[in-house]
Amino acid sequence: MTDRNIRLESAEKRAVEDQEVEIVERKGIGHPDSICDGIAESVSRALSNLYLERVGKVLHYNTDETQLVAGTAAPAFGGGEVIEPIYLLIVGRATKEYDDQKLPVDATALRAARDYLKENLPELDVGTDVIVDVKLGEGSGDLQDVFGEETQEVPMANDTSFGVGHAPLTETEQIVLETERALNGARYGSDHPELGQDIKIMGKREGDVIDVTVAAAMVDAYIDDMDDYIAAVDDVRAYVTELASEYTDREVNVEVNTADDYEEGSIYLTTTGTSAEQGDDGSVGRGNRANGLITPNRPMSMEATSGKNPVNHIGKIYNLLSTHIAETVVAEVDGIRDLQVRLLSQIGRPIDEPHVADAKVITDDGVTVTDIEDEVVAIIDRELADVTDITRRTIEGELSTF
């Protein structure tokens, strides 16, 4: 084991699962903030692969400032229309020329963004409902120098920053995460085209009662009238209630589209399946953290994970790595009730040697920190030594960043 600065101590609080009140949120893939995260990360992977194919290594870039300006739509039963298109701007920095070779950075970014929209927002006509623009400048010289022109086995950190991860997920966290994935995935969404992709889940647990609030955009082309809409909402409520029972024995109450007013005809009806069509803007990093959740009961990094380069940008690497470490430790070591991992970098220092790797643990009854310390520290050390695998897995699309 190397001489990395790894610290393990007992957490001075109750495990989140044992706290009286817990709040958890997830913004689905069609939420304007998540659209920005998804496009930024899709562009990031495309640029990494462009650089690898053309020059044999990933060059300096960051695309984590993507912005979305909402459009205007007129939804109607049976099918409405988009009046003013959504505007999406890919912003960031990228290396456009290397060794006298000009690289098609902007074209690659546009193609990746359009492909992502077509795949994930099927009711959005990329040709007319959204304008995709790109403004990628060159990176500052000092950060390019830190990134490094020479191939290094372990890159140097581009910033003094930190990442945070935790495990295991609480029952409420699992319900919130898996509900959105199911509604937007093969388990439910594939057979229910009336359900759009803009799905936000808010979970609140008080004691042993879990309340789940679902905001679900409905697609007008598949809903003929108010009765159809009400049936679609009821179907989502019943499905989420059943899904939650897979993760908890606690009482679960599910409400869907609580702002609806059926008497006034005010309902969550959309033409494209996303609120981005009508007044809801978006930005990278304003939504889910690297583990797919927003968890105010736990420490979180405010860094945007999506769109940052996966080679040496700590805002990406340490958030993904700390989450991976926490999950790995909990899977391999018995007796852990709750684990939090924080990784702090120092600019210019190798990313496998954090300024500190801090783990706070709550153990099960009958287990002490001393009992598991050597095993936990060894796993953290092992995963830090393999930090560059995070880069590979991110480029290959194995890791989700939001």
- What one-character-per-residue DSSP string does 36-103 give? HHHHHHHHHHHHHHHHHHHHSSPPSEE-TT-EEE--EEE--TT--EEEE-EEEEEEEEE--EETTEE-
- Cis peptide bond prior to 299, omega within 30° of 0: no
CA distance 91 to 359: 35
Q: Do 320 and 305 contact (CB within 8 A), yes or no?
A: yes
**Structure token pair of residue 294:** 């927003």
Residue 374 labelled as part of a binding site: no
Work out the burial of residue 307: count CB atoms within 10 Å of its CB; fewer than 13 is exposed, 13-18 middle, 19 or more buried.
buried
- The reply to whether 137 sits in an annotated binding site is yes
129 assigned ligand-binding residue: no
Cα separation of 55 and 364, whole Å? 51
140 is in an annotated binding site: yes
Distance CA 263, CA 234 (A): 17
List binding-site positions for ATP: 137-142
List binding-site positions: 137-142
